[in-house]
Amino acid sequence: MDRARGSAPRHGVLRRLRYWLEWALLRSGVALVRLMPPTMAARAIGKGWRWVAPFNRRHQRALENIRHAFPDMPVDQREALARDAWENLGQVMAETLQLDRIVADRSRFEFDVDGVRETVGEGGAVIVSMHAGNWEVTALGGHAAGWQTAGVYQALKNPLTETLLHDLRAPVYPAGLFAKGHDTARRLLSLARSGGRVAMLADLRDLRGVVVPFFGREAYATPYPATIALAARVPLIACRVIRLPGSRFRIEAEVVPMPQSGDRKADALEATRRYHARFETWIREYPEQWMWIMRKWIDGPAR
C-alpha cells in the first residue's frame, strides 16, 4: 500500500516532465520550420517523411489497406503509393506549423463552393471532410462561401502541446474550435440550429459508431455529423481538399442528399453511408493524398 502511494507522485512528476519535453521539442520544431518559407518547409519535411516513415510499423498497415483497396495494383506501385501518402502527411505537418502564413496567402487557394452556398443560404450546415490533401485548411471553403465556421477536433493528452497546436489552428475557425467531449454534441447542435456552420473530419474509426461499406469492406464510421444535421434540419455538406503543386490547394464541396424516412437512426446510417461513398470516390481520384495508416476496417490489421 505504501509503495503504491509513493509511486503515484513519482509517476506524476515523470508525466509532467515528459509533457514539458514534448512541448519543448514541438516548440523548437515550430521555430525551425518557420525559419523557412512555407513551400520550402513542406517540400523538405515531406521528402524526409517519404524516406523515414516507411521504417515505422504503421507502414505495413498502410500497405495492407492499399492492397485491399486496390487488389490489382502491383506490389511496387503499392509501395510507391504508401510513400507518396507519407510525403503528403509530412507536408501537412509542416504546413500546420505555418498555418497562419498559408491561410493569409489566398493566392494558394482555388474554390468550388458556389453550389453549396446556394443550398445553405442563410441557414446552418454540417460539413464533413476527410484526412486528404491538407485537411487543416478545409474550413477555408466555408470562408469562401461567406460563412463563419466552427470546428471539432480530438484533443491531445499533453495539455502543453494541446494548447500550442490549438492556437495554431484556431484562427481558421472564427466560430470556435471545440475539443470532442461529453458536452460538444449539444453545443454543435445548438450552433447548427441557430444558423451556424460546423465542420468535422468524418473518416476516422469510431468503435461506438456504425458500420458502413468502404472500399469493398465493412468499416467503422461515425454517424455523428449526420445525426446533428438531421436533428438540426440543416444540409449535410461533403468537402475535400486537393493538394496542388507548391503548397497550393483546391477546395470543393457538394451537398449530401439526406434521407427522410422519419426513422432518424436509419437515416443517419444511410447518410453516413452516402458520405463515405463520396469519400471513397474522391480517394480513388487522389489516393496518394489520403492517410492510409488508419485502423478503420473491421477485418483490418490489429496494429
Question: 179 pLDDT exceeds 70?
Answer: yes
Amino acid at 219: A
Are 236 and 226 within 8 A, CB to CB?
yes
Ranges of each domain in the chain: 1-33, 109-289
Amino acid at 96: T
Answer positive or negative: Cα dihedral of 139, 143, 146, 147.
Answer: positive
pLDDT at residue 125, rounded to an integer: 95
Residue 212 is classified by DSSP as E
Q: What distance in Å separates the CA atoms of residue 258 and residue 191, rounded to the nearest whole number? A: 19
Q: Which of 129, 125, 164, 132 is nearest to 148 (CA)?
A: 125
**Residue 150, all three cell numbers:** 466552427
Per-residue CA distances from 142 to 92, 174, 254 (Å): 20, 10, 12
Mean pLDDT of the chain: 93
**pLDDT per position as a tens digit, 99-154:** 999 999 999 999 999 889 888 988 999 999 999 999 999 999 888 888 889 999 88
**pLDDT per position as a tens digit, 216-231:** 999 999 999 999 999 9
Q: How many Cβ atoms are within 10 Å of 251's Cβ, its own excluded? A: 25
